[in-house]
Structures are given as structure tokens and as C-alpha cells.
Amino acid sequence: MIPNPFLGVFFHWLGGLAAGSFYVPYRGVRRWSWETYWLVGGTFSWIIAPWIIGYFLTHNLFDVLREATAQELFWPYLWGVMWGLGGLTFGLTVRYLGMSLGIAVALGYCAVFGTLMPPIFEGTFVSKVLGTQSGLWILAGVAICVVGIAFAGMAGMSKEREMPEEQKKASIKEFNFRKGLLVATFSGVMSASFAYGLAAGGAIKAATLRQGTPDLWQGLPVLVVVLFGGFTTNFLWCVMLNIKNGTGHQYFSPTVRDHDEPDRLHETIIETAIDAPSEEVVEHIPRAKPEPARVPMLANYFFCALAGVTWYMQFFFYSMGETQMGNYKFSSWTLHMASIIIFSTLWGIALHEWKGSSRRTIALVTIGLAVLVGSTIIVGYGNYLGTLNAAR
């Protein structure tokens, strides 16, 4: 197969659209704690979707995994575990900073570490990147991507200074810039481990091709292993939170318990006061016993499943795009990060996270988006030069 870098860029854009959109369905989940909906959605992301899609699109998935040695499975799995630490805190990043700023900051760190570390570890950074025209173009694209991320971060900080606290809470209920920045830094650095896991799965990809799987799907079995590592970390953490917070019943209970929503009694008293005559309210408020709030179980599972499968599709398209990047597969990570930030920022605009911002802030957002789009084109052009040189 002759690589087509511009087709690869398109696949990475699709992956970015999926990654930038996955958190939207979670907004439809009601009366579940973070750890509950994160684990339910993650089960679809890290277990159900990769196994089902991998089984149907690759030849002999189980034989491929059985053929791999323990070491060939261990490293992708271990990097997946490490990535899981970044993945679970990524949800907190969005929770504290919102989709636009949170994803921009976290993925800024992730883009640099995830793109440059694999060729450095492999010892090919000097010869393949610094020593070739195509490699220099790709490196320039990475640098421009970081500049675009910086503009996105500046826009977020500008918004944080301009907006009153009440307005921040209206769009992002738990907005906390300092806490969110710390979480985003940790999340971004650890999330880069996913790129290391994919790079460590070369032997699994080779076994997949030997089984007759088309080049386009060769990365799907590696995703099964890496994502299982991510599932391990997230499963342990979410179950610990379920135990600590007493929220384990939420997976099965159709009603809310008192400790799930400590303000529920207060809300019910207020509702009673609105509907009842004032003299009756005074008499009956102390004895108010609200009916347990119902939990939309079917809707919650549906939205979590939708979010989980949408999340997985980012790496489904990523694995496709990587096959089109020729000798510079590591550049896929920059394309992926830039695409995620582009689409997550657009979602942030659509969800009114930037409502009330000044013209200066909107200008920073616009410049950031334009620079990020330009970076993906430059990286694609660098890969195109690389395919031309390889064909000579």
C-alpha cells in the first residue's frame, strides 16, 4: 500500500472530531456520580468497542494475540496502565476547566511528549527528523501546533479573568482554574503514554498483517491491549471511589439515595413551599418526607454507551491515519492532538462556554483554531515529502 498522508490527515480529523465530541453525551446523564458514569462509559471505550470492532475487522484476532510473546503484550499493556492515570484525570480536567480550556491545556503537554519521545527513544530523532527536509517540516508543524495550543490556553486564561464567578459556574459548574491546571498538567504528561503503547505494539501489528488483515486495520489488535491497560487503572480507581462515596448501588438502583444528593431534601422543601399555602408550609416543613428521586437508568446507560463508543472511534480513525503517514508515523500524535483541540473548542463555542467573553478573547480563540488547522496541513505536507523521497 502506498501511503497517502493527506488521507491520513483526514482520518486524524475524524478521530479528533470523535475525541472532541465524546464528552457531550455525558451531559445527558442524570443523578449518577462521576465515578459511576465514567466507568460505565469507559467499559464501552476500553473493552466492548475495541474487542467487537477488532474481531470483525481483523483476521483471527485471538490467534494474533496468542502469537504475541509475553513481553510483546506486556509493554503495550503497561503503557496503557500509565495512560489510564492520565485518562481518568482527563475527565477531571474537563470537569474543572470546561471542554475548551481543559482539553487544550492537557493535550498541549500530551502533543509534545507523545510526538517527540518515541523517535527519541528509538534513536531516530536526529537521522529521521533533524536530518531530513520532510522531518524538519514535520517538526515545524509540531512547533506550530504548540503555538496554537498556547493561543487556546491564553484565550482560556483571558476568559477566566473576564467572567464573573457566577457566569463561570453557569457554564462550568465546578470551574476551578488552579486545580484544573494542575490536573491538566498531570493528565497531559501521562496521557502521552498511549503513543508509547502504540509504538511498542509493532510486533502485534506484524502478526496481524501475517494473518491477512488489510494494512488499514493493522493497529486494531494493539488497541485491544493498550486499552485493556487503561481499563485496569480506571476500573480500580472508580471502584475505590464507589466504595468510598457509597455510590456502587448506582449501577443498579432506579432511585436516588440520601447521600447521592445531600441537597435533595432542601430542594423538595422549596418545591413544597411553592405549591402549598404559607401557613401549611410552616406546619409541615419539619415533617417533609420527599419521595425518592427517580434515576433514568436506560437513558444513563445509553448516553454512557454513546460517549464510550464515540471516544473509542478516535483511536479507530487514529490507527487508520497512522497507516498513511509512511516513515513518520510518530507525527500522527500531533495531528491527533491538534484535531481534538480544534473540535473540542468548536464544541465549547457551541455549548456557550465562551459566552460573554471579550473581543480579545474571541480573537485569541480564532487565532488558535487557525494556527492548529495550519499545523495539521504542515505536518501532512512533511509526510508527503517523506513519501516522495521513499518512492525515489
The string of pLDDT tens digits covering residues 249-282 is 999 999 988 656 543 333 333 333 333 344 444 4
Task: Let me know whether 327 and 273 are in one domain.
Answer: no
Mean pLDDT of 217-240: 96
Q: Which of 55-64, 99-108, 166-175 ranks highest by mean pLDDT? A: 55-64
Non-local (6+) Cβ contacts of 373 within 8 A are: 338, 342
**Residue 107 in this model has a pLDDT that exceeds 90:** no
Confidence of residue 164 (pLDDT cuts 50, 70, 90): low
CA distance between the termini of the chain: 16
pLDDT above 70 coverage of the chain, percent: 85
Same domain (yes/no): 286, 297: no
* pLDDT recorded at residue 46: 96
Contact present, 37 and 304 (Cβ < 8 Å): yes
- The answer on 271 and 220 residing in a single domain is no
Flag whether 392 is in a domain: no
| pTM, 2 dp | 0.80
Residue with cell string 425518592:
292
At position 212, the amino acid (one-letter code) is G
The chain-wide mean pLDDT, for the chain, equals 83
Reduced to 3 states (helix: H, G, I; strand: E, B; else coil), residue 255 is: strand
Element (H, E) at 319: helix 297-322
Question: Which tens digit of pLDDT belongs to each residue from 347-379?
Answer: 888 878 777 788 898 899 889 889 988 888 898
The answer to the question of residue 319 being in a domain is yes
Confidence class of residue 286 from pLDDT cuts 50, 70 and 90? low
Asked whether residue 9 carries a pLDDT value surpassing 70, the answer given is yes
Instruction: Please indicate, yes or no, whether residues 192 and 252 belong to a single structural domain of this protein.
Output: yes
Residues 281 and 134 in one domain: no
Q: Select from 334, 347, 1, 391 the least CA-distant residue to 149.
A: 334
Judge whether 323 and 8 are in contact, CB under 8 Å: yes
Rg of the chain in Å (alpha carbons): 23
- Give me the sign of the Cα torsion angle 63, 66, 69, 70: positive
pLDDT at 380: 83
**CA separation for the pair 225, 204 (Å, rounded):** 10
Note whether residue 219 is domain-resident.
Answer: yes
- Could you identify the residue written with the cell 488499514? 216
What is residue 313's predicted lDDT score, i.e. its pLDDT?
Answer: 97
Buried b / exposed e along 240-273 (16+ C-beta atoms within 10 A): ebbeeeebbebeeeeebeeebeeebeeebbeeeb
Q: Is residue 241 part of a domain?
A: yes
SS3 10: helix
pLDDT of residue 279: 44
Provide the pLDDT confidence category of residue 331 given band limits of 50, 70 and 90: confident
Query: Are 209 and 178 in a shared domain?
Result: yes
> pLDDT tier at 99 (50, 70, 90 boundaries)?
low
Same domain assignment for residues 341 and 372:
yes
CA 324/CA 15 separation, integer angstroms: 14
Residue 43 to residue 235: CA distance in whole angstroms: 9
Residues of the chain with pLDDT > 90, as a percent, come to 42
Tell me: do 102 and 239 sit in the same domain.
yes
Cell of 211: 494473518
Q: Structural domain tally of the chain?
A: 2
Say yes or no: 73 and 96 in one domain.
yes
In this prediction, residue 337 carries a pLDDT of 84
| Whether 284 and 173 share a structural domain | no
- SS3 call for 248: helix
* Tally of CB atoms within 10 A around 186: 18
Over residues 170-213, the pLDDT tens digits come to: 556 667 777 888 888 888 889 889 989 998 999 999 999 999 99
Instruction: Quick: pLDDT tens for 121-136.
Output: 777 788 878 888 888 9
Same domain, 168 and 182: yes
pLDDT over threshold 50, residue 57: yes
Where on the phi/psi map is residue 163: left (φ > 0), alpha (ψ -120 to 50), or beta?
Answer: beta
Q: Are residues 226 and 250 in the same domain?
A: yes
Structural domain span for residue 55: 5-257+292-387
Q: Is the pLDDT of residue 288 over 80?
A: no
Q: Which of 291, 311, 335 delimits the end of a domain?
A: 291
Cell matching residue 339: 484535531
3-state secondary structure (DSSP) of residue 176: coil
The rounded distance, in Å, linking the Cα atoms of 356 and 96 is 19
